[in-house]
Amino acid sequence: MVTLLFFSGTGNTLWAAKQIAQPLGEGAEVLNIASEMLKPPGIIAAEKAVILFPAYAFQMPDMVRRFILRTEFRSPYIAALVTYGTDPGGALAEARRLFRKKKQALSYAGRIPAVENFIPLFGPPGKRTVEKRLALQAAASAEAARAVAEGRANRVWSVRPLAAFISTLFRLGKRFFVRGYRALDICNGCGICARVCPAGAVTLENGRPVFSSACEHCQGCLNWCPRRAIRYLRMKPDSPRWHHPGVAAAELFREELRNESGKEDKIRGWKR
């Protein structure tokens, strides 16, 4: 049995998780870390455990870090896979350090290139870039599936000074960076932004989104908004947005939101 645990804002990492789970057969289950964090700390006892997460400013998301530290892993084989648009930095090195802190070994670490989703900084991806990155993501996901199936092992450096410096600055400034998010007057209060937010950092007040310091800066709210009504800092309102075409917004909803909205708990591509 293989348990794949993912964190995803715009669908890049969820898509990779589904692609990796498919060839692993019926014994593979895909779980949303955002949903697991709403439950008491648990135990992962699968034969193989795979944690998938994006790199944000050369680090793993805070929620993933907290999930690893609070969860008891009884799996003899643990893999960490990072999706990234520009550079994964020290995200995998951080994963190795966290498991060493828990006196466990990270068996395998892999990189999966994806489409960059931080549009306020890098701009919207062009068509050719999207095509190229999607092809790279598909190939890397297939290779990761083979690595997990075969139980491959490798090593990753646990010290990345420059990445650690940049990620520390990002972590310290996160609560202030959230002030850059704004909802425009064209917002119709549909609530998609609140539903896709893995951190629960977006709430609706009087039909308008309010952003809290719990924000992971996954860009899910900005990129999934059907009216492009959310912008960050001086980002142009009409800028194109990005979310993975192979993932539906409802697949990213935390479990209690899927249940409240009447969505089936077994959604496309998942085994629960």
Closest among 171, 212, 220, 233 to 193, alpha carbons compared: 220
| Check whether domain 2-162 has CATH 3.40.50.360, yes or no | yes
pLDDT per residue as tens digits for the range 25-78: 988 999 999 999 999 999 999 999 999 999 998 899 999 999 999 999 999 999
Q: Is the Cα dihedral 65, 18, 85, 9 positive or negative?
A: negative
Closest among 50, 97, 94 to 75, alpha carbons compared: 50
174-260: CATH topology: Alpha-Beta Plaits (3.30.70)
Q: Is 202 helix (H, G, I), strand (E, B) or coil?
A: strand
pLDDT per residue as tens digits for the range 121-174: 888 899 999 999 999 999 999 999 999 999 999 988 766 677 777 777 777 777
C-alpha 259: how far from chain center? 21
Number of H helices and E strands in the chain, helices first, is 10, 11
Task: Supply the pTM of this predicted model.
Answer: 0.90
- Average pLDDT score over residue span 252-263: 64
Residues of the chain within CATH 3.40.50.360 domain(s) are 2-162
pLDDT per residue as tens digits for the range 236-249: 878 899 999 999 99
The residue count for the chain: 272
Which of 9-23, 149-163, 251-265 shows the lowest mean pLDDT across its residues?
A: 251-265
Residues of the chain within CATH 3.30.70.20 domain(s) are 174-260
